[in-house]
Structure 1
Amino acid sequence: MIDGLSAGTLAELARLERTRNYLWPGAVAGTVRAWAEHVRLPRGRTWPHAGYAPCHCCPDPWESRELLDEVTRALSRRGARELRRVLAGHDHLWDPAPRPYRSEGPW
Protein backbone atom coordinates (compact mmCIF):
# COMPACT_ATOMS: atom_id res chain seq x y z
CA MET A 1 0.00 0.00 0.00
CA ILE A 2 1.15 3.48 -0.87
CA ASP A 3 -0.83 6.34 0.64
CA GLY A 4 -2.16 8.77 -1.94
CA LEU A 5 -2.64 6.30 -4.80
CA SER A 6 -6.01 5.21 -6.13
CA ALA A 7 -7.08 1.57 -6.29
CA GLY A 8 -6.65 1.66 -10.07
CA THR A 9 -3.05 2.84 -9.82
CA LEU A 10 -2.29 0.26 -7.12
CA ALA A 11 -3.69 -2.45 -9.41
CA GLU A 12 -1.57 -1.13 -12.27
CA LEU A 13 1.52 -1.24 -10.04
CA ALA A 14 0.73 -4.82 -9.02
CA ARG A 15 0.47 -5.78 -12.70
CA LEU A 16 3.83 -4.12 -13.45
CA GLU A 17 5.43 -5.93 -10.50
CA ARG A 18 4.22 -9.25 -11.93
CA THR A 19 5.23 -8.59 -15.54
CA ARG A 20 8.55 -6.70 -15.35
CA ASN A 21 11.74 -8.64 -14.70
CA TYR A 22 13.29 -5.76 -12.71
CA LEU A 23 10.39 -5.71 -10.22
CA TRP A 24 8.98 -8.14 -7.66
CA PRO A 25 5.80 -8.14 -5.54
CA GLY A 26 5.93 -5.17 -3.18
CA ALA A 27 8.94 -3.60 -4.92
CA VAL A 28 7.37 -0.20 -5.53
CA ALA A 29 6.02 0.19 -2.00
CA GLY A 30 9.44 -0.82 -0.64
CA THR A 31 11.30 1.65 -2.80
CA VAL A 32 8.90 4.48 -1.93
CA ARG A 33 9.44 3.62 1.74
CA ALA A 34 13.25 3.54 1.30
CA TRP A 35 13.26 6.95 -0.40
CA ALA A 36 10.88 8.44 2.19
CA GLU A 37 13.07 7.20 5.05
CA HIS A 38 16.22 8.54 3.41
CA VAL A 39 14.91 12.07 2.85
CA ARG A 40 13.94 12.26 6.52
CA LEU A 41 17.46 11.53 7.75
CA PRO A 42 19.51 14.45 9.08
CA ARG A 43 21.22 16.21 6.17
CA GLY A 44 24.69 15.06 7.23
CA ARG A 45 23.73 11.39 6.92
CA THR A 46 23.76 10.78 3.22
CA TRP A 47 24.43 7.52 1.42
CA PRO A 48 26.64 5.62 1.88
CA HIS A 49 26.21 5.72 5.61
CA ALA A 50 29.54 5.63 7.38
CA GLY A 51 30.54 2.12 8.40
CA TYR A 52 27.83 0.37 6.42
CA ALA A 53 28.10 -1.48 3.14
CA PRO A 54 25.12 -1.70 0.79
CA CYS A 55 23.08 -4.77 1.60
CA HIS A 56 19.61 -6.17 1.13
CA CYS A 57 18.45 -4.77 4.47
CA CYS A 58 19.39 -1.17 3.67
CA PRO A 59 18.70 -0.35 0.00
CA ASP A 60 20.58 2.39 -1.78
CA PRO A 61 18.20 5.37 -1.78
CA TRP A 62 19.50 6.69 -5.12
CA GLU A 63 18.85 3.34 -6.80
CA SER A 64 15.42 3.34 -5.20
CA ARG A 65 14.67 6.79 -6.63
CA GLU A 66 15.90 5.76 -10.09
CA LEU A 67 13.70 2.65 -9.97
CA LEU A 68 10.73 4.84 -9.11
CA ASP A 69 11.46 7.00 -12.16
CA GLU A 70 11.46 3.86 -14.35
CA VAL A 71 8.17 2.71 -12.83
CA THR A 72 6.65 6.15 -13.40
CA ARG A 73 7.57 5.96 -17.09
CA ALA A 74 5.92 2.52 -17.36
CA LEU A 75 2.61 3.66 -15.84
CA SER A 76 -0.37 5.17 -17.59
CA ARG A 77 -0.65 8.96 -17.57
CA ARG A 78 -3.05 8.97 -14.64
CA GLY A 79 -1.01 6.45 -12.65
CA ALA A 80 2.23 8.29 -13.35
CA ARG A 81 0.67 11.59 -12.27
CA GLU A 82 -0.51 10.05 -8.98
CA LEU A 83 2.88 8.46 -8.25
CA ARG A 84 4.73 11.67 -9.14
CA ARG A 85 2.49 13.60 -6.73
CA VAL A 86 3.37 11.15 -3.91
CA LEU A 87 7.07 11.32 -4.76
CA ALA A 88 7.04 15.11 -4.99
CA GLY A 89 6.17 15.30 -1.30
CA HIS A 90 9.25 13.24 -0.44
CA ASP A 91 11.48 14.95 -3.01
CA HIS A 92 10.58 18.32 -1.52
CA LEU A 93 12.03 17.20 1.81
CA TRP A 94 15.31 16.34 0.12
CA ASP A 95 15.55 19.38 -2.14
CA PRO A 96 13.24 22.20 -1.05
CA ALA A 97 12.36 24.97 -3.46
CA PRO A 98 15.54 26.65 -4.65
CA ARG A 99 16.34 30.06 -3.30
CA PRO A 100 16.32 32.89 -5.80
CA TYR A 101 19.67 33.69 -7.31
CA ARG A 102 21.26 36.97 -6.29
CA SER A 103 21.60 39.33 -9.18
CA GLU A 104 24.04 41.59 -7.42
CA GLY A 105 27.10 40.86 -5.37
CA PRO A 106 30.87 41.00 -5.43
CA TRP A 107 31.16 38.05 -7.81
Structure 2
Amino acid sequence: MIDGLSAGTLAELARLERTRTYLWPGAASGAVRAWAEHVRLPRGRTWPHPGHGPCYCCPDPWESRELLDQIARALSRRGARELRRVLAGHDQLWDPVPRPYRGEGPW
Protein backbone atom coordinates (compact mmCIF):
# COMPACT_ATOMS: atom_id res chain seq x y z
CA MET A 1 0.00 0.00 0.00
CA ILE A 2 1.15 3.51 -0.85
CA ASP A 3 -0.79 6.30 0.81
CA GLY A 4 -2.16 8.83 -1.65
CA LEU A 5 -2.71 6.46 -4.58
CA SER A 6 -6.12 5.49 -5.88
CA ALA A 7 -7.29 1.89 -6.02
CA GLY A 8 -6.92 1.96 -9.81
CA THR A 9 -3.30 3.06 -9.62
CA LEU A 10 -2.55 0.47 -6.93
CA ALA A 11 -4.04 -2.21 -9.19
CA GLU A 12 -1.94 -0.94 -12.09
CA LEU A 13 1.18 -1.09 -9.90
CA ALA A 14 0.37 -4.66 -8.89
CA ARG A 15 -0.01 -5.61 -12.56
CA LEU A 16 3.33 -3.99 -13.43
CA GLU A 17 5.05 -5.78 -10.56
CA ARG A 18 3.76 -9.11 -11.90
CA THR A 19 4.62 -8.50 -15.56
CA ARG A 20 7.90 -6.54 -15.59
CA THR A 21 11.13 -8.46 -15.15
CA TYR A 22 12.83 -5.63 -13.24
CA LEU A 23 10.05 -5.55 -10.60
CA TRP A 24 8.80 -7.95 -7.94
CA PRO A 25 5.71 -7.97 -5.68
CA GLY A 26 5.95 -5.00 -3.32
CA ALA A 27 8.78 -3.30 -5.25
CA ALA A 28 7.01 0.05 -5.53
CA SER A 29 5.89 0.26 -1.91
CA GLY A 30 9.34 -0.84 -0.71
CA ALA A 31 11.02 1.79 -2.87
CA VAL A 32 8.67 4.53 -1.61
CA ARG A 33 9.33 3.43 1.97
CA ALA A 34 13.13 3.43 1.46
CA TRP A 35 13.09 6.90 -0.12
CA ALA A 36 10.71 8.32 2.50
CA GLU A 37 12.88 7.01 5.34
CA HIS A 38 16.04 8.37 3.74
CA VAL A 39 14.74 11.91 3.23
CA ARG A 40 13.69 12.05 6.87
CA LEU A 41 17.20 11.25 8.15
CA PRO A 42 19.27 14.12 9.50
CA ARG A 43 21.15 15.73 6.61
CA GLY A 44 24.56 14.52 7.83
CA ARG A 45 23.55 10.85 7.71
CA THR A 46 23.84 9.65 4.17
CA TRP A 47 23.70 6.22 2.66
CA PRO A 48 25.72 4.08 3.02
CA HIS A 49 26.25 5.02 6.60
CA PRO A 50 29.90 5.97 7.24
CA GLY A 51 32.00 3.36 8.99
CA HIS A 52 29.62 0.50 8.30
CA GLY A 53 30.84 -0.50 4.83
CA PRO A 54 28.33 -1.71 2.28
CA CYS A 55 24.96 -2.22 3.88
CA TYR A 56 23.15 -5.16 2.32
CA CYS A 57 20.45 -5.19 4.96
CA CYS A 58 18.64 -2.12 3.64
CA PRO A 59 17.90 -0.84 0.15
CA ASP A 60 19.91 1.95 -1.48
CA PRO A 61 17.58 4.98 -1.38
CA TRP A 62 19.03 6.41 -4.61
CA GLU A 63 18.40 3.14 -6.45
CA SER A 64 14.92 3.11 -4.95
CA ARG A 65 14.27 6.64 -6.23
CA GLU A 66 15.51 5.69 -9.70
CA LEU A 67 13.28 2.61 -9.67
CA LEU A 68 10.31 4.83 -8.82
CA ASP A 69 11.10 7.00 -11.84
CA GLN A 70 11.14 3.87 -14.03
CA ILE A 71 7.83 2.76 -12.56
CA ALA A 72 6.29 6.19 -13.16
CA ARG A 73 7.35 6.01 -16.82
CA ALA A 74 5.67 2.60 -17.15
CA LEU A 75 2.38 3.72 -15.57
CA SER A 76 -0.53 5.34 -17.35
CA ARG A 77 -0.62 9.14 -17.34
CA ARG A 78 -3.06 9.20 -14.45
CA GLY A 79 -1.12 6.65 -12.43
CA ALA A 80 2.19 8.39 -13.09
CA ARG A 81 0.71 11.72 -12.03
CA GLU A 82 -0.53 10.22 -8.77
CA LEU A 83 2.80 8.54 -8.02
CA ARG A 84 4.77 11.69 -8.85
CA ARG A 85 2.52 13.71 -6.54
CA VAL A 86 3.29 11.30 -3.68
CA LEU A 87 7.00 11.41 -4.49
CA ALA A 88 7.00 15.20 -4.70
CA GLY A 89 6.08 15.36 -1.02
CA HIS A 90 9.12 13.26 -0.12
CA ASP A 91 11.40 15.02 -2.61
CA GLN A 92 10.44 18.33 -1.03
CA LEU A 93 11.96 17.13 2.24
CA TRP A 94 15.24 16.28 0.51
CA ASP A 95 15.53 19.39 -1.65
CA PRO A 96 13.12 22.15 -0.57
CA VAL A 97 14.00 24.34 -3.58
CA PRO A 98 11.69 23.31 -6.44
CA ARG A 99 13.56 22.54 -9.64
CA PRO A 100 12.03 22.17 -13.10
CA TYR A 101 11.88 18.77 -14.70
CA ARG A 102 14.30 18.00 -17.50
CA GLY A 103 13.31 19.82 -20.63
CA GLU A 104 11.66 22.69 -18.76
CA GLY A 105 13.24 26.04 -18.21
CA PRO A 106 15.93 27.97 -20.07
CA TRP A 107 18.81 25.57 -19.40
TM more than 0.5: yes
Aligned length: 97
Moved over 6 A (4+): none
Question: Considering only CA atoms, is the larger Rg found in Structure 1 or Structure 2?
Answer: 1
Deviation at 1:77, TM superposition (A): 0.1
Using structure 2 for the length normalisation, give the TM-score: 0.88
**Deviation of the 1:92 alpha carbon:** 0.2
Residue in 1 that maps onto 2:55: 54
- Tell me how far 1:48 sits from its aligned partner: 1.6
Calculate percent identity across the aligned residue pairs: 86
Distance (whole Å) between structure 1 residues aligned to residue 31 and residue 87 of structure 2: 11
Separation of aligned partners in 1, 2:51 and 2:33 = 22
Which stretch of structure 1 is more off in the superposition, 75-84 or 41-50? 41-50
TM-score (norm: length of structure 1)? 0.88
Q: Does 1:33 align with 2:33?
A: yes
Counterparts of residues 19-98 of structure 1 (less than 5 Å): 19-52=19-52, 53-55=54-56, 57-97=57-97
* C-alpha RMSD of the superposition: 0.9
Letter in 2 for 1:22: Y
Mark the runs of 5 or more structure 1 residues left unpaired by the alignment: 99-107
Partners in 2 of 1:51 and 1:33 — Cα distance?
Answer: 24
Q: Distance in 1 between matches of 2:84 and 2:62?
A: 16
Q: Please, which runs of 5 or more residues in structure 2 have no aligned partner? A: 99-107
